[in-house]
Amino acid sequence: MTIDRNRIRELCAREDARFIEERPRSMELLEKARTCMPDGVPMAWMVSAYHHAPMFVAEGDGAYFTDVDGHRYLDMNLADTSMACGFTPQPVVEAVAAQMRRGSQFLLPTEDAIAVAEELAGRFGLPRWQFTLAASSANTEVLRIARAATGRETILLFDGKYHGMLDETLLTLVDGEPRPEGLGLPKEAGRRTRIVQFNDLAAAEAALSDSAVACVVVEPALTNVGGVISPEPDFHAGLRALTRRFGSLLILDEVHTHVCAFGGLTRAWGLEPDIVVLGKALGGGIPIGAYGMTEELARFMEGTAGGEGEAADWTVRFAMRVATGGTMFANALSLAAARATLEHVLTEDGHARTAALGERLADGIEAAIRRHGLSWSAYRLYCRSGYCFAPKLSRNALEAQAVADIPLTNLMRVYMANRGVWEALEGEGPAASFAATAADIDLYLDVFERCLADLVG
């Protein structure tokens, strides 16, 4: 069954009007905020991510948050997975409060850094770790390490990727060429970046074959274009073989996917990256980015200082190291939060329980799609299951973009918001929170079902 476009427009107009009408306090705050912040928001994404006016939040608890007009939402966006552990996970709240009382930042290591690095090493199979404040800065650093370690400048990415706010990855293919995908990016940003389609090993081979590529950056599954795009069975093994053959490093961006399984998809799928990048949910709500690397790369980072006794002048020593770091990176508070998150929330049991919720979500979505005779499909990726507006799942960004339906996605989001469910951002997909229960997933499915009924009815 196809959905009548007029029906989408009508329903969206009705739901948008209701959204505004039922949120007078948010709209009042927005007016006030416009006088002191562009678009009335402290960070521009907060307005560009939604087709309706942004809403002001009062508080969150578990898998729910409440807006300033008193509406409560089941959170299926998880602040783009950064709040996958739920709002206010108690062990993290307590660890953060205790660390705050003892001092949050010293520009010196605390013991928690060792605990977190050891725990991540055990989970992800990479022995040595560094910490930042966000995944974007972790990705910035790993590109530099890869360039310094290989002596090459070019990087290879996959169409539909998102790796954060880096000039050289904020690129999109225009007529087959990487072009900056936002204002303010240098026109030449794409000069040393190659982009090919996900799941296309022949294209990856062609891009790597001149041995000019320092590193390939890839997510285990694409998670920023059309929900989730899964790798074909031989994709990661093939990519690993190619990177080894042509001397490029393999960087796995698990910033979104590490919440899927204990040790991320790296461990679940037996992947063998040279570097793995984490962030978002790792701090249980406190900012942190992290990357793990092989012993060989760690030695390279140490060795670039020129060896013992040499370069005693610190300015020379600094210049000879890979350009990494930031004043607040790896602060005591981030690491106390990450330790508590790993020990108490992102546990083997927590991952297994949340993955089961993801299966329940996919089963329910599939059943609802069938009941309403829609030619959509459901994808499954542990806690991160969702739906796609086509009978067949996409293999790459081109296919995902061809079936994307922004007006329909906008309607579904606002429809669900008006009924107490905060759906994922456009291009992403819903995800189960570690704080959610089966009853919460059923609430989502009930609202999803009502939305489909209204759409086809």
Ligand X SMILES: Cc1ncc(COP(=O)(O)O)c(C=O)c1O
Q: Give the Cα separation of 81 and 61 in Å (integer).
A: 16
Which CB, 75 or 440, lies closer to ligand X?
75
What phi and psi, each to the nearest 5 degrees, are found at residue 167?
A: -50, -45
3-state secondary structure of 222: strand
Nearest approach, Cβ of residue 224 and ligand X (Å): 5
Binds ligand X by CB under 6 A, chosen from 190, 279, 284, 285: 279
Give 5-63 as a DSSP string.
HHHHHHHHHHHHHHHHHT-HHHHHHHHHHHTTSGGG-SSTHHHHT-SSPP--EEEEEBT
Nearest approach, Cβ of residue 254 and ligand X (Å): 8
Site residues (CB under 6 A) for ligand X, limited to 34-73: none
**63-71, 250-258, 329-337, 391-399 -> range binding ligand X (CB under 6 A):** 250-258
Nearest approach, Cβ of residue 134 and ligand X (Å): 4
Which CB, 23 or 280, lies closer to ligand X?
280
Q: Give the Cα separation of 62 and 433 in Å (integer).
A: 8
Q: Is residue 164 at the binding interface for ligand X, with CB under 6 A as the rule? A: yes
Long-range contacts of residues 320-328, Cβ cutoff 8 Å, at least 24 apart: 322/141, 322/144, 322/145, 322/148, 323/141, 323/144, 324/130, 324/141, 324/144, 324/145, 326/132, 326/133, 326/137, 327/107, 328/105, 328/133
Nearest approach, Cβ of residue 133 and ligand X (Å): 9
Strand-strand pairing, 249-253 and 275-278:
parallel
Nearest approach, Cβ of residue 325 and ligand X (Å): 16
Closest CA to 297 of 324, 326, 260: 324
**34-42, 238-246, 251-259, 380-388 -> range binding ligand X (CB under 6 A):** 251-259
Closest CA to 429 of 238, 225, 253: 225
Nearest approach, Cβ of residue 151 and ligand X (Å): 26
Q: Is residue 253 at the binding interface for ligand X, with CB under 6 A as the rule? A: yes
Q: Half-sphere exposure of residue 34, counting CA atoms within 13 Å on the CB side?
A: 9
Q: Is residue 16 at the binding interface for ligand X, with CB under 6 A as the rule? A: no
Q: At what angle do helices 5-21 and 438-456 cross, to 10 degrees?
A: 130
217: β partners: 251
**100-108, 128-136, 175-183, 340-348 -> range binding ligand X (CB under 6 A):** 128-136
One symbol per residue from 66 to 95: x for binding ligand X (CB under 6 A), - otherwise; what is it? --------------x---------------
Give 168-204 as a DSSP string.
TTSEEEETTEEEE-STTS-GGGGGGEEEE-TT-HHHH
What phi and psi, each to the nearest 5 degrees, are found at residue 196?
A: -130, 175
Which CB, 16 or 253, lies closer to ligand X?
253
Binds ligand X by CB under 6 A, chosen from 110, 136, 243, 394: 136
Which CB, 221 or 414, lies closer to ligand X?
221
Binds ligand X by CB under 6 A, chosen from 123, 128, 152, 256: 256
Nearest approach, Cβ of residue 352 and ligand X (Å): 23
**145-153, 162-170, 310-318, 435-443 -> range binding ligand X (CB under 6 A):** 162-170
Nearest approach, Cβ of residue 163 and ligand X (Å): 5
Q: Is residue 224 at the binding interface for ligand X, with CB under 6 A as the rule? A: yes
Q: What angle do CA 84, 261, 385 make, to 5 degrees?
A: 65
Binds ligand X by CB under 6 A, chosen from 112, 219, 399, 423: 219
Q: Give the Cα separation of 290 and 272 in Å (integer).
A: 17
Which CB, 71 or 258, lies closer to ligand X?
258
**70-78, 111-119, 132-140, 324-332 -> range binding ligand X (CB under 6 A):** 132-140
Nearest approach, Cβ of residue 219 and ligand X (Å): 5
* Residues making contact with ligand X (CB under 6 A): 80, 134-136, 139, 162-164, 219, 224, 253, 255-256, 279-280
